Structure 1
Amino acid sequence: MIDLTAVRDETPGIARRLHLNNAGAGLMPLPVLEAMTGYLRREAEIGGYEAADEAGSRLDAVYHSIARLIGAEPDEIALTENATVAWQMAFYALSFRPGDRILTAQAEYAANYVALLHAARKHGVVIDVIPDDEDGVLDPAALEGMIDDGVRLIAITWVPTNGGLVNPAAEVGRIARKHRIPYLLDACQAVGQMQVDVSRLGCDMLSATGRKFLRGPRGTGFLYVRREMIGALHPPMIDHFAAPWVAPGRYELRSDARRFETWENNYAARLGLGVAADYALSLGMGEIEARCRALGDLLRAELRASPGIAVHDLGPHPAAIVSFSIGDKAADAVKSALSRQRINVSISRPSSTLLDATARSLPTLVRASPHYFNTEAELARLVEVCRGLAA
């Protein structure tokens, strides 16, 4: 069981705000902050290159920490500036021909879908959206029925940005493996709040960020590429770290996932990312997931029971992202009112998941995302204020 007192003692931000914006950026715990500031202090004291050399073993250990977090091997991990870069490095490493089909989800994230549209414009690929079932969850049976020889890629978001929906990522992986179709999974909102095992998921590539539920620093992300897939992918951009220059007319790509990296990096942020992964692992991802689900379910139930408040989440077993609206009040105004009460939430605009928002006629929504360090009393405080706004 998570020691709530201990984790709250190590979360300085809770003294200043009621933080329910962990799907945007989680509050960093003290060990993450101390790892980063300590490293920056050494850069100032002895120099940037020298500090990196001194911390070499700790920096290398970050790959091992991320690998343990998702059930991978260190050579299958690339560290990136953010999850979008991670996703794009994998996606644009694939080759497409006119008529190739890409299958994606109804609630796909805008950054990913725009890249799909770019591939359609540049290469003539066809984008097909996998239908949802009666609960609004991606339908594996429908996906199976869409498979043919023209499908080049399956790319979906596991937990969309605009609500608690959890798509059946492992079922998608089973179908992808069965038909030997590359499978790219956006796990931004899953990593840090849910147990992740890439072998069980069956994905060939997975992208994620450090700043959300993992409670790492902004400006960090990572890409997993299945070892057997690495050699088939040529990154869209390379430098002499990804591909050493071995002869005047030749380079050789690295054999590991670091072929998707470049030479210069924010080493302080990388150390923070590694500590964030270790911190989550020390608490136990099973324990974290159970508490996140319980808090999300509690908040969702209390808001649904509140007159004038509508919850817009889909799926029978949603994650700890709760999207709602209060009467005809604009989401921006609700967010501002909550901020004046020192409560952090975010908003979800239709443009972030345009297909889903259009299909459901969704307005801009308020998004509250509790994490394991939040208390039931904090959730009650949010509900109390929201009920006041709805009155």
Structure 2
Amino acid sequence: MIDLDAVRADTPGCRDLIFLDNAGSSLPPTPVLHEIQDHLRREAEIGGYRAAAERADDLRAGYDVLASLLACSPDEVAFTDSASRSWLAALDSLRLEPGDRALVTEVEYHSNALALLNLGVQIEPIPSDATGAVDVTALRDMLDSRVKLVSLVHVPTNGGLVNPVHEVAEAARSVGAVVVLDACQSLGQLPVSLESVHAVTASGRKWLRGPRGTGVLAVRGLSPRLIDGRAALWESADRFTVANNAKAFELWEYSVADRLGFIAAARYALSLGIAEIAAEVSARASMTRTLLSEIPGVSVCDLGAEQCGIVSFSVAGHEAEEVRDFLWDNGVAVSVTYDSSTLFDMTRRGLKKLVRASPHYFVSPDQIARFAEVLATL
């Protein structure tokens, strides 16, 4: 069980603010903040190169930390600057050609879909089942040798649905399709593993509580098409050797302070326990859904038999932005999710926008109750 007082003490921002926007960009705990600030001060004292050299061991250890978080080998971990950059790197390595098929879930993110469309790849949404999760039976019926990619969103941006990973990956393997798991909304609140997929992409700023501008790509059996000096050794005028592990996907330049903060965030999550975090987040989201469903005019819009920490809702007679701004004026932080972010799903359900509340483990039950009380006054 997570010590609520301790994690709240590590999160000064949650004392006066009911922070329910962890699906957007969470509040970093003080160990993460101190790691970033201390390294920036050191860069100001001795310069970026020497400051990085002092932390070389810690930077190397980061691969072991993220490997523990993603249940993979350290050689399968690459640091990036965002979930989107990770996904684009994985996509580019597939070298898709005209005529190739890419299957996506109905809750596919706009960034992923736009990248595929820009390549001229045929996108085919896999139907959802009665609960809203990806229909694995329908997926099996769609598979053939032309399916080169199955893009699986673990948790969508617009609700608490959790998609099945193992079942989708097992079906895709039958035709040799690559499975890329988008875990940008699940890493840090749910167990995430590279075990049954070819690549996992995720962000540092959301549930993991790391800094913005950080991400991770865990990859197995793929190699990059575009490289720079971090990825390969230039041996002679026309000869070079690319790294034989995930570091081939990394770039030479990055924010050392932010990466150290990202590693600290991963360590913090591991110290609490991912299973424990998942249980606490699930309990808070369940409480939130229950209290919201009791308020006249409020409709909870989440899908899935298995649900996680994102709670989406609407308020009759009020635009989503109006609800967001009213809550902010009353000490509650939520966000708005739009149909342009998850076009297939929102269009299918006839939705344009929703309010999104995402309570993390540091949000107290009393704060969730207070959030519901405030919303009821609208």
Question: Whole-Å Cα distance in 2 between the matches of residues 281 and 56 of structure 1?
Answer: 22
Q: 2:165 aligns with which of 162, 169, 177?
A: 169
The alpha-carbon deviation at position 196 of structure 1 amounts to: 1.6
The corresponding residue for 2:324 is 335
Equivalent residue, structure 1, for 2:66: 66
Q: Deviations over 1:145-189 (max 9, x none)?
A: 111111111112110001111111221112123332111110000
Aligned residues of 1:326 and 1:386 also touching (Cα < 8 A): no
Q: Is 2:286 the partner of 1:290?
A: no
Runs of 4+ in 1 over 4 A off after TM superposition: none
**Contact 2:143 / 2:172 at 8 angstroms: preserved in 1?**
no
User: Please, which runs of 5 or more residues in structure 2 have no aligned partner?
Assistant: none
Following TM superposition, by how much is the alpha carbon of 1:12 offset from its aligned partner in structure 2, in angstroms? 1.1
Structure 1 equivalent of residue 19 of structure 2: 19
Q: Match of 1:222?
A: 216
Aligned residue identity for 1:181: A
Percentage identity across aligned positions?
46
2:75 maps to a residue whose letter is D
Q: CA deviation at 1:136?
A: 1.1
CA distance in 2 between partners of 1:388 and 1:281 (Å): 39
Partner SS for 1:154: strand
Deviations 1:297-335 (A, max 9, x none): 110111112110011110112111001011021111111
- After TM superposition, list the pairs within 5 Å mapping 1:212-251 onto structure 2: 212-226=206-220, 229-230=221-222, 233-235=223-225, 237-251=226-240
- The 1-side partners of 2:209 and 2:98 are apart by 41
Structure 1: how far apart are the matches of 2:68 and 2:361? 20
On the 8 A contact 2:147/2:175 being kept in 1, the answer is no
Corresponding residue for residue 323 of structure 1: 312
CA contact (8 A) 1:66 1:274 kept: yes
| Letter in structure 1 aligned against 2:193 | D
Query: 2 CA distance for matches of 1:145 and 1:65?
Result: 39
SS of equivalent residue, structure 2 residue 232: coil
Asked if 2 retains the 8 angstrom alpha-carbon contact of 1:102 and 1:155, the reply is yes
Aligned-pair distance for 1:27?
A: 0.8
Give the letter aligned to residue 85 of structure 1: R
- Which one-letter code corresponds to 1:176 in the other structure? A
* Paired letter, 2:87: W
Secondary structure of the residue aligned to 2:218 is strand
Distance 1:386 1:211 in 2: 27
Partners of 2:146 and 2:45 in 1: how far apart?
57
Whole-angstrom CA distance in 1 between matches of 2:62 and 2:332? 33
1:42 aligns with 2:36: no
Match of 1:354 among 340, 343, 359: 343
CA-to-aligned-CA distance 1:239-292 (integer Å, 9 cap, x gap): 111122221113221111111111111000000010100100011111000111
In 1, Cα distance between the equivalents of 2:227 and 2:301?
Answer: 42
Contact residue 21 and residue 369 of structure 1 kept, 8 A:
yes
Q: Aligned residue for 1:154?
A: 150
- Matched residue pairs, number? 378
Q: CA deviation at 1:83?
A: 0.6
- What amino acid is aligned across from residue 239 of structure 1 in structure 2? D
* Map of 1:211 onto structure 2: 205
Distance in 1 between residues matched to 2:336 and 2:368, nearest whole Å: 17
Q: Contact between 2:334 and 2:355, CA under 8 Å: does it hold in 1?
A: yes
In the alignment, structure 1 residue 370 sits paired with structure 2 residue 359: yes
Post-superposition shift, 1:116? Answer: 1.4
User: How large is the RMSD of aligned CA atoms in angstroms?
Assistant: 1.0
In structure 1, the residue matched to 2:2 is 2
- The one-letter code sitting in structure 2 at the alignment partner of 1:383 is A
Q: Please identify which structure carries the higher helix content.
A: 1
Give the Cα separation in 2 of the matches to 1:93 and 1:196: 22
Structure 1 residue 368: deviation in Å? 0.3
